[in-house]
Amino acid sequence: MIKFKNVSKKFGKEVEAVKNLSLEIKESELLVFLGTSGSGKTTCIKMVNRLEEVSSGHIFVEGKNIQEYDPIQLRRKIGYAVQHIGLFPHFTVGENIATVPNLLNWEKEKTDKRVEEMLELVELAPDQFKDRYPYQLSGGQKQRIGVARSLAADPEILLMDEPFGAIDPITRFTLQDGFLKIQRKLKKTTLFVTHDMFEAIKLGDRIALIDKGNLQQLDKPETLIDNPANKFVEDFLGSQRFQLALLTKEINDLEDIKKLKKEKPKKEIQPEAGLKLTDSLLKAINLFKTTEAEKIGLYDKEKLIKTLDKEKLVSIISQFLGQWIASE
Partner 1 sequence: MIQEFFTKLGNDIAVHAFQHLYLTFISLFIAVIIAVPLGIYLTKTKKEKLVNVIMNIAGIIQTIPTLALLALTVTLFILINQIIGGSDWYRDGGAIPTIGVLPGITALVLYSLLPILRNTYTGIKEVDPSVLEVARGMGMTQKQILTSIELPLALPFITAGIRISSVWTIGIATLCGLIGAGGLGDLILIGLRSNQIDYLIAGTLPAAFLALIFDGLMGGMEKWLTPPGLRMRKKKRQ
Footprint of partner 1 (CB under 8 A): 49, 51, 72-76, 80, 82-92, 99-100, 103, 133-136, 149-150, 159
Residue 30 or residue 151: which is nearer to partner 1 going by CB?
151
If we measure between CA atoms, which residue out of 49, 5, 33 comes closest to residue 211? 33
Taking the complex as a whole, the smallest distance from the CB of residue 101 to partner 1 amounts, in Å, to: 11
Q: Minimum CB separation from partner 1 for residue 201, in Å?
A: 27
Q: Which is nearer to partner 1, 132 or 295 (CB)?
A: 132
| Minimal distance, residue 75 CB to partner 1, in Å | 4
Calpha distance 71→141 (Å, rounded): 30
Nearest residue (CB) to partner 1, 22 versus 136: 136
Within 10 angstroms of residue 161's Cβ, the number of other Cβ atoms is 21
CA dist 201 and 245 (Å) reads 10
Which DSSP letter does residue 114 get?
Answer: H
> Least CB distance from residue 133 to partner 1, whole Å?
4
Q: Which of 23, 15, 65, 58 is nearest to 40 (CA)?
A: 15
Q: How far is the CB of 135 from partner 1 (least distance, A)?
A: 4
Strands 295-300 and 303-309: antiparallel
**Closer to partner 1 at the Cβ: 74 or 308?**
74
Beta strands in 195-294 (DSSP E): 206-211, 214-219, 273-276
Dist CA 35 CA 233 (whole Å): 10
Of 51 and 260, which CB lies nearer to partner 1 in the complex structure? 51
Between residues 75 and 130, which has the closer beta carbon with respect to partner 1?
75
Cα–Cα distances (Å) from 96 to 93, 193, 200, 291, in that order, read 5, 23, 28, 43
CB neighbourhood size of 274 (10 A): 17
Smallest gap from Cβ 238 to partner 1, in A, equals 31
Beta bridge partners of 154: none
CB of 83 to partner 1, least distance (A): 8
Task: Check the CA dihedral 138-178-204-245 and report its sign.
Answer: positive
Residues near 312 by beta carbon (within 8 Å), at least 6 away in sequence: none
Q: Are 166 and 95 in contact (CB under 8 A)?
A: no
| Closest separation in Å from C-beta 109 to partner 1 | 21
Looking at the Cβ atoms of 91 and 324, the one nearer to partner 1 is 91
- Minimal distance in Å, beta carbon 287 to partner 1? 40
Q: Which is nearer to partner 1, 72 or 170 (CB)?
A: 72
Closest to partner 1 by CB, 88 or 242:
88
- Cα 143 → chain centroid: 15
Distance in angstroms (rounded) separating the CA atoms of residues 276 and 23? 34
Q: CA 204, CA 244: separation in Å to the nearest integer?
A: 13
Q: How many CA atoms lie within 13 A of 183 on its CB side?
A: 24
